[in-house]
Homo-oligomer: A and B are copies of this chain.
Amino acid sequence: MSYPQARLQDDDLAGTLLANRAFSETLCAPLTPEDMGLQACPEVSPPRWHLAHTTWFFETFILKPHVPGYRPLDPRFEYLFNSYYNGVGEQYPRPRRHLLSRPDTATVLAWRRHVDEALADLLSRSATPELAALVRLGIEHEQQHQELLLTDLKFNFSHNPLYPQYQPREDQADKAPALSWLEYHGGLVTIGAGGPSSTNSFYFDNETPRHRQWLEPFALASRPATCGEYLAFIEDGGYQRPELWLSDGWAWVSQQRIRAPLYWFLNDGLAEHYTLAGRRPLNLAEPVTHLNYYEADAFARWCGKRLPTEVEWEHAAAARPVTGGFVENRRYHPAIATPGEGPRQLFGDVWEWTASAYLPYPGFQPAPGAVGEYNGKFMCNQMVLRGGSCASSRDHLRASYRNFFYPHLRWQFSGVRLAQSMEAPDATSATAP
């Protein structure tokens, strides 16, 4: 089994691995054992399950195949903590993860020790490129689950009328920079991982192959939309006007009686929301978040604009540094954009819905083996998001990174950056091949 896209030369792979493993546990430090089992819907998982599943990943894909005579702490965990890898075997039903009170937190932590020690031992003896690639994949996988751990936790806590506070509250400014437009003239562009700026870094199979796309001229908003801008959409009857919505979106709004983004409380002049720092007033200057695709799309239509495609987004982001608000900041909420030139907050703070369905790039080949179930099999019914959020690791992100979710889901830190076409495409001047 190998993951050919990972061309990692990490000076201290074992150190990076163990630091990242420790960070998962750091994120759980404010939680009680009771919190560790919460699961409010099938799409989210309990914190304890995240700690266990990321450990399962290393045990299944690295220790069992690469350490002769490796003894798992408990062979039954292979079944319990598989998420969706059909190549590995049956899975414990996802909606029931909250029912796994055993193994308890202490046992899961002991399992983590067991696996970490075996990994450290293995890496002290071997560092083949194949092994390094798998370890790197395991690190990236765990970073994804760190993000989910936080977003799942927020969703779970939001069901508790006590509105638990995971972190202290911080005050922020109340003013975002004015929105401006950045223009790009398009043409035949190249996107995908492996470009000049990404040498030696990790990327997923779904970012490949690097390939050409034709782009018409377009412009991107200088920053994500704010809560204040979104509130204007609401106050203009945005959720009551079918002409603003995709058909599936309108069905969702109507059947679920949606009136605001997830976690917002808007009754009787109140404008509050639930955050990981507890329930608090909306700050209108902050980027709006916890929108689903339907909301992002309807808001853009109300603005007379549209969402960017992922090709447009990547073309704009390729030359930009990966700066923004990340999980390392320990704020767990999108920050107000800072003034400056060029696009703000392309990376971090809020994932940006694109107008692109999550599909294979031309010539895409999934990684072989069970690890190949990582990305390719989800290439249907989902939309691409770009850029990362306040719950993403900074070194997990890059311009070519493709995140994807179903259009109705909104428990991620997902927001919206507007786009517009700069001129009607002129078909008559197009040169037929």
Tell me the A residues contacting B by CB distance below 8 Å: 32-40, 48, 76, 79-80, 84, 86-87, 92, 96, 98-105, 156, 159-162, 164, 185-190, 192, 194-195, 209-216, 242-243, 245-250, 293-294, 297, 309, 355-357, 359-360, 362-363, 373, 377-381, 383, 407, 421, 424-425, 427, 430-433
Contacts and interface: CB of A to CB of B under 8 A. Distances in A.
A105 B55 CA distance: 28
Contact of A188 (B161, B214, B379): B214
Given A92-B161, A99-B156, A355-B360, A380 B249 contact: yes
Given A33-B33, A189-B432, A247-B377, 12 more contacts: A38-B98, A40-B99, A84-B247, A92-B161, A100-B160, A188-B432, A209-B425, A212-B431, A245-B377, A247-B378, A357-B357, A381-B381
Nearest to A93: B159
A432 to B, nearest CB: 5
A404 B164 CA distance: 37
22 contacts: A34-B36, A34-B102, A35-B104, A39-B98, A40-B96, A86-B250, A87-B243, A98-B98, A99-B160, A188-B214, A188-B430, A188-B433, A189-B432, A209-B425, A209-B427, A210-B427, A211-B427, A246-B379, A247-B380, A356-B359, A362-B421, A380-B383
A194 B210 CA distance: 32
A245 to B, nearest CB: 7
